[in-house]
């Protein structure tokens, strides 16, 4: 867990929710009231966000006491209790929605990712996430992908050079883009991997002739062309398939022999896992 990022996220999220006070709790529950609550799982899936929830409780009120029964990555079913929390009722209610929003979203992502990982188990292909994430929650969503058994692609624009179709078009062609990227890295003393997206076998041929990249993204290829592309690359570079890939067709892509498959759907349209924080 990146403590600096998490601290900033929690601070901003609480500020957004709290405003000038939780007037419902302050008006209905006497100050100093204590209570207990349990995190109740209401849907089968993969649990994610426990470590984050504990940090949220800690930052909301360091006197809150938690007891954890299930950890991140655990398979859960309806009726499971992930943890209990006890202490100030006002503090529990302040943390409640932030904990649930994060855990439900993260568990939904982990559950979907794990399902895809299981589909790919007969193959050597690994599943990647993308930058199609919720603004402000990218770290959490990519964390959830890892909990579900997936692999993180680049985190942002800063940790890899990914030359996509628009970059190629603006740069005046594939060779120009690759050459400029390598010159930039050398001039700035940076050591970043270079990946380039290709849209067809002709563009792939240009990349193979130019070289000087680490990974080739094969975007929206037909199965026949994808198989041919993997054969042409012949392990010279890491391969990644992308574009139009779903749970229904992902095994067909994996059967083409690519090293990675990227799926924006792991994060951009996932269904949250149902759970609640109930007083008892």
List, as residue ranges, the binding site for substrate. 97, 130-132, 154, 164, 197, 219, 242-244, 263-265
Distance (Å, whole) CA 191 – CA 186: 8
Check if 42 is active-site: no
Render 201-214 in DSSP notation, one character per residue. HHHHHHHHHH---S
Q: Which of 141, 197, 203, 259 is catalytic?
A: 197
Render 40-108 in DSSP notation, one character per residue. EE-S-EE---HHHHHHHHHHH-TT-EEEESS-TT-EE-TT-EEEEEEEEHHHHHHHHHHHHHHHHHHHH
Distance (Å, whole) CA 178 – CA 147: 34
Q: Which of 132, 138, 146, 199 is catalytic?
A: 132
What phi and psi, each to the nearest 5 degrees, are found at residue 132? -80, 75
Check if 105 is active-site: no
Q: Which of 80, 141, 195, 219 is catalytic?
A: 219
Check if 219 is active-site: yes
Check if 227 is active-site: no
Distance (Å, whole) CA 11 – CA 160: 29
Check if 212 is active-site: no
Q: Binding site: what residues are annotated?
A: 97, 130-132, 154, 164, 197, 219, 242-244, 263-265
Catalytic sites, residue numbers: 97, 132, 164, 197, 219
């Amino acid at each position: 867990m990146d403590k600096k990022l998490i601290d900033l996220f929690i601070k901003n999220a609480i500020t957004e929710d709290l405003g000038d006070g939780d007037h419902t709790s302050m008006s209905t529950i006497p100050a100093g009231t204590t209570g207990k609550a349990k995190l109740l799982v209401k849907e089968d899936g993969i649990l994610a966000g426990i470590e984050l929830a504990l940090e949220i409780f800690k930052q909301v009120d360091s006197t809150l006491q938690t007891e954890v029964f299930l950890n991140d990555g655990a398979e859960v079913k309806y009726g499971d209790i992930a943890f209990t929390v006890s202490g100030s009722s006002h503090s529990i209610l302040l943390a409640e929605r932030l904990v649930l929003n994060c855990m439900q979203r993260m568990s939904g992502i982990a559950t979907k990712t794990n399902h895809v990982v299981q589909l790919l188990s007969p193959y050597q292909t690994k599943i990647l996430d993308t930058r199609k994430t919720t603004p402000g929650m990218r770290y959490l969503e990519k964390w959830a992908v890892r909990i579900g058994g997936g692999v993180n692609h680049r985190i942002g624009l800063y940790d890899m050079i990914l030359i996509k179709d628009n970059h190629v078009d603006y740069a005046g062609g594939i060779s120009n883009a690759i050459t400029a990227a390598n010159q930039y890295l050398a001039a700035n003393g940076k050591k970043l991997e270079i990946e380039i997206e290709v849209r067809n076998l002709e563009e792939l041929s240009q990349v193979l002739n130019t070289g000087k990249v680490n990974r080739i993204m094969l975007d929206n290829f037909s199965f026949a062309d994808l198989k041919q592309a993997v054969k042409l690359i012949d392990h010279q570079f890491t391969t990644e398939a992308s574009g139009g890939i779903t749970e229904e067709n992902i095994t067909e892509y994996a059967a083409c022999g690519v090293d990675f498959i990227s799926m924006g759907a792991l994060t951009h349209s996932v269904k949250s896992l149902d759970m609640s924080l109930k007083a008892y």
